[in-house]
Amino acid sequence: MKITPLEIKRQQFKKVMRGYDPVEVDTFLDMLSHELEDVLTRNKAMGDRIIELETQLKDYKNIEKTLQQTLLQAQETSGKEIENSKKEAELIVQEAELKASQIVDKARMDFSRMKEEISNLKARKESILSRLKVLLASEIDLIKALEIDEDDMTGRDTSKGTGKEHIAIDEILKKL
């Protein structure tokens, strides 16, 4: 049976002749009633506090669970990002290597083409020089033939001239 503080205050005892002092009993009952009321009030406050703390604990556990899930997701995401970054870096390196290879191949082809072109130009130069030398030699021979014919006709000695014309032509031929 539960006794409330109000029941203790209202409790009435029979009066008998040689019994307890009624004032002392009433005072004790008042004191007991107040003490029981304080205990019940504290007990209710403690119960409320326990409910509040249990609610907070539940909230904290939910927050902790959410944080753990978030952390796991962040770790998974960062792992995937790192993996994706590595794959992307590998692709960039492969593309760069392919482009470098293409550039080197093109440079080699250009070099080979230019080398061939230089060789063709040198051959053309040699051909032109040799034709020019032949042409100049034939023209010099023609000039010499004409001078001989002229000397024969006039009777002049070609050795008395300056000879500069012969030297200049000979020098031109040597330079070629």
How does pLDDT run across 112-165, given as a tens digit for each residue?
999 999 999 999 999 999 999 899 888 888 888 888 877 777 655 545 455 555
Q: Considering only CA atoms, which of 128, 140, 141, 130 is closest in space to residue 169? A: 140
Residue 88 tokens, joined? 């992307």
What is the 8-class DSSP label of residue 161? S
Instruction: Report the range of poorest mean pLDDT among 79-83, 95-99, 172-176.
Output: 172-176
Q: Which two tokens stand for residue 139?
A: 């023209």
Which pTM value belongs to this model? 0.41
- Average pLDDT in the chain: 85
Which residues have CB under 8 Å from 29's CB, separation 6+? Answer: 8, 9, 11
**Which tokens belong to 115?**
């080398």
pLDDT at 154: 65
pLDDT over threshold 90, residue 111: yes
The residue ranges of every structural domain in the chain are: 5-129
Residue 50 has pLDDT above 80, yes or no: yes
Residue 37 vs residue 172, higher pLDDT:
37
C-alpha radius of gyration, the chain, whole number: 64
- Separation in Å, CA 74 to CA 62, 66, 89: 18, 12, 22
- The pLDDT of residue 167: 55
